A and B are shown apart, each in its own frame.
Chain A
């Protein structure tokens, strides 16, 4: 059996909002739900081939489907993985408009994690229903639920990252930032994509504020994970900077399979769930071979040219596809990581070298640095030039 797989299921592409940067164009966001037969087949194959699996329910908007759908889906999982099994877990990625008390109770009881795509007071720049989502967040509590908010930073909100951080910090809600990527709707409206230099500058300012924020009761993601890596604790910081190929799979409502939940070009189609006998067949497809070959070629270049390669592992293949081609790097995503991570690496190197009073840093940084000093895992490498 293989160790682990993350499976993104898009149970529907329909959505109750019209987010301006959506991976799927309005023409694609039509009603249509994945059948229970397909889910049954998927769960069976995954349970037979993998020791553990994490299912991420994405879309479209997954909560346009009734709660009954998720009760049935989790019952199917129990049938294949066992009741209360630790081999399987679930996350629902939602825009938050349909969260209510019943749904919150269901997530608590079934230990379903939640990711909410929401930008707080700046939500209207990309989405709608800001007040409703803000109200619905009150159904979730840090004690009973595992959830985080995932703000997407657009050109209009690129200078508002610190304000978004403070908004969620004051509410004690974990937050994970990412920029609008030039794919799907944003490929047709490039004015949504933030300027990389502005994003980098504000992202670094936000990190510096969090670094010295004694009131910070939340980890700032992905910066905190970058910090752990910079201190030598190798954690997978985000999917864009890990070796994800072969460990992730995405299924659309019609059963078509792709290597990623982002807007995958058709050339990377890995077949249809109904046409394969096992998950391994999808990873033996021509579509997967194409993305793998291009990625290997790109990483070969990255490895020889970039001193941060061991941290970024060549960036995300889908991002590279839309920014400068699958086999090339140096696009905005690459620059953003290089600059932001490079800054964090420099901060860590300074802390370890100068041994300043740690009480000026937030508790996450203090713990990470103390952990590094008590148990030095690896030498911190400082970027060249």
Chain B
């Protein structure tokens, strides 16, 4: 006969679960390998590249916030302007280059 006062809650919980017929199912469910549902599913389409882990990118390779979008567009505009300036209007392609 088991003494009611001696075992700890952890021991009692373990005994209780071992007495439960469905505990086998429960253990089996817990024993399954953990599935990462956020794992990148399109790795093959991207040449095997891993997901970008920079803070500016989300896990799909897009900008992680509106601010980073603004930085991207601004950066592209400034780069364009600099190239245009250095090449005097893309070597004459833009005939209205003022500088």
Contact = CB atoms under 8 A, between A and B. Distances in A.
Interface string A243-256: 10110000000000
B56 to A, nearest CB: 26
A293 B13 contact: no
Contacts of B16: 243, 245-246, 292, 295-296, 299
Contact of B4 (A243, A293, A299, A311): A293
Q: Which bucket holds chain A's interface residue count?
A: 20 to 34
A71 interface: no
Contacts of B12: 289, 292-293, 296
A299 B20 CA distance: 9
B48 interface: no
Interface in B1-46: 1-2, 4-5, 7, 9, 12-13, 15-17, 19-23, 25
A311 B13 CA distance: 20
A297 B9 contact: no
A87 interface: no
B4 A284 contact: no
Contacts of A245: 16
A300 B4 contact: no
Contacts of B5: 293
A271 to B, nearest CB: 13
Interface string A159-201: 0000000000000000000000000000000000000000000
Contacts of B25: 234
Contacts of A60: none
A297 B1 contact: yes
Contacts of B15: 296
A257 B4 CA distance: 22
A367 to B, nearest CB: 22
Interface of B: 1-2, 4-5, 7, 9, 12-13, 15-17, 19-23, 25
Interface of A: 234, 236, 242-243, 245-246, 283-284, 288-290, 292-297, 299-300, 303, 309-311, 313-314, 327
Given A234-B21, A296-B19, 14 more contacts: A242-B22, A243-B16, A243-B19, A243-B22, A246-B13, A283-B9, A284-B9, A288-B9, A289-B12, A292-B12, A292-B16, A293-B2, A296-B12, A299-B19
